[in-house]
Amino acid sequence: MSNWMIVISAIASFVVSSVIGKFLIPELHKLKFGQPIRDEGPKSHQKKSGTPTMGGIMFIIASVFVSVVCYVVLNILNPNNQSVQDHVQFIAGIIMATLFGVIGFVDDYIKILHKHNEGLTEKQKLVLQFLVAVAYVFALKLGGCSSGTVIPFVGRVDFGIFYWIVSVIVIVGFVNATNLTDGIDGLDGSVTFFASMIFMVIAGYLLNNGMSVMSASLSGACLGFLVWNFHPAKVFMGDTGSLFLGGYLCAVAYGINMPVLVIPIGIMYIVEMFSVMMQVSYFKITKKRTGQGKRLFKMSPIHHHFEMCGWSEVKIVIVFSLITAVAGVLTVLATIYTYANAG
């Protein structure tokens, strides 16, 4: 029954997300919730100015609603199948992801209100994000969740108090990495579709119904969103959606007690984040040494570099998605190997 529920959650999320788009996009147009475009971004993006943003509302509603309904049904049909810790991980994970989405919503709304691409300040966003991450980690700890984690090819390791401290940093970092990946039509949604599918397979292998349902719901919801977001996009997800996606994937990774998997499965998010860090650092170092800053890439995050090199948005999406899929398959094999040789 759980396998059927996973399929149902994916299909239902797809339908809910895509249908919401049909009604949400015209309303966003009426409210003039258009996306301001950065002047320093690729010139080709200027024509996208005014495209409705906050489209992430589609997959937030779809994934959260369907996940909760399917999880409740699963627990009614199999009341003893989930532990207290499983319930805590599911509920806390849904709340964390939603709160990250709320932070993004506030940021988007301020941008729209003031008609420019600056919403919350970096300090304000980081403070709010750290508060959410700390609250999530505290909920897991209070709910009796273990500080032990499974690392591929290593096995189970307990880091004690350091696990919780590092977790806060990892969550905030990953959420912002996911946010940076949202820069061209269909990119963040496509990469997340494959990432959530991989998490669904791993959660299914581990017989973790709650995380299987969450992953399946997100994959279906992202696919429904891509109906409207794939190039040429009729709507953008905004920070509302991108911050939610990062929080949601972290919730699933922690829900299966393998948070380290956000590194291989989320490899493209991390590459995007490090491309920005490298660009900024290199510019500052060369400016200090020579008085004139130089750049490693034509533009960062790195998807813009490839744009400036002549790649089409569709090609970038396909390549980034394929890399995510390949890294994901290798992660699945590594996870199966680790559990097959455990103990």
Average pLDDT, rounded, for the chain:
92
How much is the average pLDDT of 194-213?
96
Does residue 161 carry a pLDDT above 60? Answer: yes
Determine which helix (DSSP H) or strand (DSSP E) holds 208, and give its type and residue range.
none
99-123: average pLDDT: 88
Banded model confidence at residue 192, pLDDT cuts 50, 70, 90:
very high
The encoded tokens of residue 8 equal: 């149902």
DSSP letter, residue 266: T
CA separation for the pair 61, 314 (Å, rounded): 27
Q: Is residue 46 classed exposed, middle or buried when 0-12, 13-18 and 19+ CB atoms within 10 A define those classes?
A: exposed
35 vs 103, higher pLDDT: 103
Dihedrals phi, psi of 152, to nearest 5 degrees: -50, 135
Q: What is the pLDDT of residue 263?
A: 97
Distance CA 17, CA 337 (A): 35
pLDDT (mean) for 117-122? 83
**Nearest alpha carbon to residue 9 among 216, 254, 303, 281:** 216
pLDDT for residue 40 = 57
Please spell the DSSP secondary structure of 88-117, one letter per residue.
HHHHHHHHHHHHHHHHHHHHHHHHHHHTSS
Question: pLDDT, tens digit, for every residue of 247-262?
Answer: 999 999 999 999 999 9
